[in-house]
Structure 1
Amino acid sequence: MAAGADSGVIRRSTLRQQIADALRDEVLAGRLPCGHAFTVKEIADQYGVSATPVREALLDLCAQGLLDVEQHRGYKVHAFTADDFRAMVEARTLIIEGIFRGGADKALRETPGEVLVSIRRRAEEAERAARAGDLDVLIGYDLRFWRELSGIVGNPYISDFLDRVRVQTWMFAVPLLRRETDLRGHLWQSHGALADALVRHDLREAQRLIAEYNEHSLALVGTPG
């Protein structure tokens, strides 16, 4: 009886995460635009599931700052402002600089070679998508790249916080970027250079690339610092 109950909880938890991931992807792709309102029932009907895991998934996304609760009406996609974006870029910079100051060199030297290879592979895929102007593919590999890169310090709170801020910056940037007819050559594509700098333990070069990336991000969406 207890084992069956545990199995039910695991299945519901897995479904909750799957729904949250799917909705996050919809938001990042711009298919659920900022300000778009919906109800638990609409999402449950869309995915053919009960209301409980949907409600839990939506509350998870609210906690991540991606959705807002509309009292007695449902939920809507959060709308970030240009000021929010500038603050988020500053926040992600401070997180990454904190990683570099907090013993990243030692962490890199102790990082297994296969982990660095995986980070380099993510970098190559992100660069390829950036050069092609493929925003949807770029976002996926970009988030994985930074998630793995931040993971070298072994602190899940840092990785989770950085991932949350990066998702939010993409949420703001995507609608603006989609106004461009052709993004080839306009997206930042130095993931590989950053990965190489880290493999060489050249933290100064890595910090320079991060600063370059931030300037590029702000200029690209028209929100200079």
Structure 2
Amino acid sequence: MPGTDGPAVIRSTLRQQIADALRDEVLAGRLEPGQEFTVKEIADQYGVSATPVREALVNLTAQGLLDADQHRGFRVHEHTLADYRGMLEARGLIADGIFRDLARTADTRDDMSDALLSVRRRGEEAARAACAGDLNVLIGYDLRFWRELSALFGNPYLSDFLHRLRVKSWVCAVTHLRRWSEQGGGDLRGALWSRHTELVDALVCRDPAAAHAIVVEYNAHSLSLIERLATA
């Protein structure tokens, strides 16, 4: 019957909006690792009922961004350097599979060139933000860049998994990046990886080996930076 699913759709949309907003709060550093809060506090903050908030928090807990405490509510998950290393390794393995598939199927896809051109534009914006040291803008474009790139693989489950993994790795990294910047370590210009367009160019040339090498350098750069900041 028309309208039967209306309230459920509205609630689902609200739940996702709250989950997205809280995820952005974590990425922006306004919700810090270990910070605790309750369903009521979040519901009051956004002026909504407790049900979609609870559903959003459970969703973020399932993604590994929050920890649930039966008696105290929720808290932002605290990732370790070992977690970060594992995330980088997993990202690299997924990326390699995507690169090989795109190189193999490029000849059979008429839309591949246009799709990669669109991804490259996201890469240009990400690289520009990285060079400027603008972390907020970089994270947004970097996530869109990889989401669009992985979508070309044609498997929405893998694309969604990689996106969540990249969100988690940014959450882990951003804690150290923001803390270093705010404590007088200096701005982030020149410290952030910015070779997005080179990666797309390698894929346009159907060279998965070159794309692999770029991602290996990316992961090594990221790990070295975060390890250095974590021990500073």
TM-score of the superposed pair, with normalisation by structure 2:
0.91
Conservation of the 8 A alpha-carbon contact between 2:102 and 2:203: no
**Residue 107 (structure 1) aligned with residue 112 (structure 2):** no
Give the residue type in structure 1 aligned to 2:89: E
Residue in structure 1 matched with residue 118 of structure 2 by the alignment? 118
Identity rate of aligned residues, in percent? 62
Conservation of the 8 A alpha-carbon contact between 2:96 and 2:208: no
TM-score of the superposed pair, with normalisation by structure 1:
0.94
- Cα separation, 1, equivalents of 2:105 and 2:7: 39
**Residue 60 (structure 1) aligned with residue 56 (structure 2):** no
Conservation of the 8 A alpha-carbon contact between 2:127 and 2:194: yes
Residue in structure 2 matched with residue 4 of structure 1 by the alignment? 3
- Cα separation, 2, equivalents of 1:92 and 1:61: 20
Root-mean-square deviation over aligned CA pairs: 1.5
SS in 1 for 2:3: helix
- Cα separation, 1, equivalents of 2:4 and 2:26: 33
SS in 2 for 1:153: coil
Residue in structure 2 matched with residue 25 of structure 1 by the alignment? 24
Conservation of the 8 A alpha-carbon contact between 1:111 and 1:152: no
Q: How far apart are residue 223 of structure 1 and its match? A: 6.3
Residue in structure 1 matched with residue 201 of structure 2 by the alignment? 196
1:15-71 CA distance string (max 9 Å, x none): 111111000000111110000100011101111111111111111101111001011
Give ranges in structure 1 of 5+ residues lacking alignment: none
- Cα separation, 2, equivalents of 1:200 and 1:77: 42
Q: How far apart are residue 138 of structure 1 and its match? A: 0.3
Give the residue type in structure 1 aligned to 2:30: R
CA distance 1:186–1:111, shift in 2 (3 Å):
farther
Give the residue type in structure 2 aligned to 1:47: Y
Give ranges in structure 2 of 5+ residues lacking alignment: none
Residue in structure 1 matched with residue 222 of structure 2 by the alignment? 217
Conservation of the 8 A alpha-carbon contact between 2:99 and 2:203: no
Residue in structure 1 matched with residue 14 of structure 2 by the alignment? 15
